[in-house]
Structure 1
Amino acid sequence: MATFVLIHGAGDVGWYWHLVEAELRARGFDTVAPDLPCDDDTAGLAEYADAVVAAVGERTDLIVVGQSLGGFTAPLVGERTTGPEAVTMIVLVAPMIPAPGEAPADYWANTGWDRETREQHDDLFYQDVAPELAAEAWKRGREQSETRLGEPSPMKAWPDVPTRVLACRDDRLLPVGFMRRVARERLGITPDEIDGGHTPALSRPRELADRLKEYADGR
């Protein structure tokens, strides 16, 4: 059975995925959801990938799932794991989709995000998450270091494995129209869509797990 490798976004921890992990394990899958060193000023994307690869260990048949900024780490894990059966799919959820050699800090200008028409909201992340769960997420979150986010990604090309993009229809940070355009321009694919805001692992864990299982079953 496949292992889902779950990569959190900026200023977050692996706990973000805990509800989805429970759902996936109930469906018979293994899961790995490491904490990235996102609050460490000495760590960049390569070190983020190191943390994921170390957590994966000797597992194979990996489905690598990147959320938000985790979209920059996911393809690096695809490059770094060894063996033809290591990574069998990459899934990007409400993601930043990097171009080869792109720095995360440059993503917003490079994709034209700043020119998108967006409604202004105070809560960009947890608007549809239960209040007590959102409070716990804020409590567990960490300060995202920006020291090395201006460095180019070491990714030279997107890994040669099937890739899916899952956009969230109510996402206030990365609106669905923006996601459709960037997924088409950068990966040549049309994203799938799910209801909810930017953090579906907390607001819709069962529905997200169902989608991930569909991807696993359809490989």
Structure 2
Amino acid sequence: MATFVLVHGGGHGGWCYQPLVGVLREAGHEVYAPTLTGLGERSHLLGPHVDLGLHIEDIAAVLRYEDLRDVVLVGHSYGGMVITGAADRAAERVGKLVYLDAATPAGGQSLVDIAGPIMNEARKHGKVVDGIELVLLPSPGAGAFYGPADPDVVAWMDERLTAHPWPCFEQPLELTDEDALRAIPQYHVVCTSTLATRDPELVAGARKAGRLWDIDTGHDLMITEPRAVADALLEIAAAQVPGWTVCSK
């Protein structure tokens, strides 16, 4: 049995993993899908203190207080920033890192550094509320921006998406033990459409090592293709050595 900790991206919450959690639990695995402070059902905790550092501590605290070991730590989109920081803080608890169509930062980088044009465009449509700059503002049909086309799925998402504090995206990632972090095997499950926008060296290295999956769907692949994502995660959890065959869905 594997233990998965699934970290969501910007504007989302642990709710976005419901379809994937069901598949993984049916297969007999332990799954946690925490919501980051200030988002989803924790949006009432929004304040000027919410930033990348706090979100990293959110996940490090889950690993620590649940006493989790050999975790498959998965991050979607902005969640890639968070899992990198959490693994840096608690490397002894993380067995594998999985970047789910996610940012793959180096120390000192922010999400704006990695995806500047997209993030700066989002900022143009944000607003300041009670002194907090918010982006990814919910609006009717906003769920479709993340890839789903089914009207029922979009409506389900629209009821749950929340605004996201801009400081999370602007704050650089601080690493404390890069050697321990880089010793953790890293895997990449990405959307086919985003492959061309990713670091060619990273993609080539992951593909050569058998640590790259691409799924032909929208950005919120855990919602639109939960079975394909689960298949990839189960293969990753079962992998014992590098160099196994790449799987493309």
Q: Please confirm whether the aligned pair reaches a TM-score higher than 0.5, indicating the same fold.
A: yes
Residue 142 of structure 2 corresponds to residue 126 of structure 1: no
Q: Residue 173 of structure 2 is aligned with which of 153, 156, 160? A: 153
Look up the match of 1:24: 24
Paired residues in the alignment total 202
Q: In the aligned structure 1, how far is the partner of 2:32 from the partner of 2:201?
A: 28
Question: Secondary structure of the equivalent of 2:214?
Answer: strand
* Equivalent residue in structure 2 for 1:52, among 39, 59, 82: 59
Q: Which TM-score applies when normalising by structure 2?
A: 0.73
Identify if the C-alpha distance between structure 1 residues 182 and 99 changes in structure 2 by more than 3 Å, giving closer, same or farther. farther
Percent same amino acid at aligned positions? 25
1:181 to 193, 197, 200: 200
Question: What letter matches 1:81 in structure 2?
Answer: A
Task: Kindly indicate which of the two structures has a greater share of residues assigned to helix.
Answer: 2
- 1:198-213 to 2 correspondence within 5 Å? 198-213=219-234
Kept after mapping to 2: 8 A contact 1:89/1:161: yes
| 2:243 matched residue in structure 1 | none
**1:118 alignment partner in structure 2:** none
Contact 1:167 1:179 survives alignment (8 Å): no
Distance 1:180 1:214 in 2: 24
For residue 74 of structure 1, give the secondary structure of its aligned residue in structure 2.
helix
Shift of 1:184: 3.8
Query: In the alignment, is the contact (CA less than 8 A) between 2:91 and 2:184 conserved in 1?
Result: no
- Please, what is the CA RMSD of the aligned residues? 2.5
> Is contact 2:60–2:87 with CA below 8 Å preserved after alignment?
no
Do the aligned partners of 2:147 and 2:217 also contact (CA within 8 Å) in 1? no
Write the distance in 1 (CA, Å) between the matches of 2:165 and 2:157. 18
Show the counterpart of 1:72.
Answer: 81
Q: Which runs of 5+ in 1 are unaligned?
A: 115-121
Larger radius of gyration: 2
Higher RCO (Cα < 8 Å, 6 or more apart): 1
**For the Cα contact (< 8 Å) 1:72–1:97, is it kept in 2?**
yes
TM-score, length of structure 1 as denominator length: 0.82
SS in 1 for 2:85: helix
Q: Which runs of 5+ in 2 are unaligned?
A: 40-45, 122-141, 241-249
Separation in structure 1 between the aligned mates of residue 175 and residue 155 of structure 2, nearest angstrom: 35
